[in-house]
Structure formats: structure tokens, C-alpha cells
Homo-oligomer: A and B are copies of this chain.
Amino acid sequence: MRRGTARALRERSALFQLLDQALVCHLGVIIDGGPLVVPTVFATDPDGPDEDGTLYVHGSVAARSLGAGVESDICVTVTQVDGLVLARSAFHHSMNYRSAVILGRGRLVDDPVEKARALDLIVDSVVPGRAATLRPHHRKELAATVVMALPLHEASVKQRVGDPVDGADDIAAGGWAGVLSLSLAAGQITTSADAQGLEVPEHVRRRAAALTVSG
């Protein structure tokens, strides 16, 4: 890995690793002729109906961008910020990050079996192991939920790691430069007011532990 500049990663494993780690994506659609970007939850299905795997995104805003039965171009972007890159000049400031941009034709998921599976994958992508602990979806719930599918075909992954890259003059001037690392961290688990006294499930504790930052 070349350090200090954003570079494209070509391995599919980098794409799936990033999509596994991230909790939310930003979905871009065209509505009324302009771009609209909304955060939402998502999941990947490597064994989905599309040749390269399928990405499922949750959300009704996507449906608004669709004409009656017509597929439309959408963009799903996933970003993890790993650190602030603090250079000696404003110009060389940057972030260490990983991001994936996935482009394609969105497809509204109609089939209740595919939709239920997609929603279970979304629950499990947020808290692994949780979907199997929940009751089955009600038919009304499936009807009231919008899921879009996007082929994991046209995807680009970028990553920046490492130190700032300053010019020789700025380095010679003797100022400090470095990286402040960042990560998403779990805090408290709060049991609902209407579930007091019940034990926090093991899969929830595991999820919190996996997200907890030490030091």
C-alpha cells in the first residue's frame, strides 16, 4: 500500500470488507431533476440475484425517484473516516479514509421472500446474529417497507492511509505534522423503558464489544 495518497483498490475483498464494517450508507438519487442524498441502512448479499452480488438499501426516498415500474440510476456511497491528516500547509490537509461508490440501476424489491431476506441481512449487518432472534416479518410490515437492490457490479473503492505529505520547504520550516486517528465507538447499552429487568442479549453485548475502542 502506497502511503499518503488516496488510491483506488481493485480487490473485491476490500469492497466487501468496507461494506461489512460500515453501519450506514448515503444513497443518491435524482428527484425533480436534482440530486438528493439521504443516509440509510444497507446490507450486501454476495449470493444475491446479481452476478457480482447484490446491495440492498432500505428507504422510501429511493422509491420516490422511480417512475412507475421504471428503474433509475442510483448511487450508494459508504465512507469510513479513519483519521485527520494534519499537514504543515492547509493545502496538504486530508483525511485517512476508506470509501466505496457503487453506481447502477436501482431495482425495487417486490418479491416478499427476497424482501424478507434483504431485511434480515440489513438487521444482521447492523448487529450480527440478531435477525434469527426476531419473530417473522408480518405481511403488512413487508408491504410498508421499501427495499432497493443494486448490483455490486460498478463499484470503486478508495483508501488513504499514512502520514501527511508536505513539501520540502514546509518540512524544513520545522512545524509539526501528524495524524489524529478516529473510529466509531460503542457507548452504553440502554434497555428500553418497556423492557426493564430483561437481560441484554449476548449478540448485542458482542456487537458493543466489537465497536468499543480501548485507550
A75 and B36 in contact, given A135-B170, A182-B184, A187-B183 (Cβ under 8 angstroms) = yes
A174 and B198 in contact, given A36-B75, A73-B34, A88-B134 (Cβ under 8 angstroms) = yes
Q: Which residue of B lies closest to A29 (CB)?
A: B35
- CB distance A75 to B184 under 8 Å? no
Residues of A170-202 at the interface with B, using a CB-CB cut-off of 8 Å, are: 170-171, 173-195, 198-201
A77 and B39 in contact, given A178-B191, A182-B184, A182-B186 (Cβ under 8 angstroms) = yes
One of A9-17, A48-56, A123-131 at the interface: A123-131
Specify which of A36, A174, A208 lies most central, judged by the most chain B CB atoms within 10 Å of its CB: A36
A194 and B176 in contact, given A36-B28, A187-B213 (Cβ under 8 angstroms) = no
- CB distance A182 to B170 under 8 Å? no
Residues in B neighbouring A97, C-beta threshold 8 A:
24, 39
| CB-contact partner of A176 in B29, B126, B200, under 8 A | B200
- CB distance A138 to B91 under 8 Å? yes
Residues in B neighbouring A26, C-beta threshold 8 A:
26, 28, 37, 39, 77, 79
Q: Which residue of B lies closest to A35 (CB)?
A: B28
Query: In the complex, what distance in Å separates the CA atom of A77 from the CA atom of B30?
Result: 14
- CB distance A30 to B35 under 8 Å? yes
A163 and B24 in contact, given A93-B123, A185-B182 (Cβ under 8 angstroms) = no
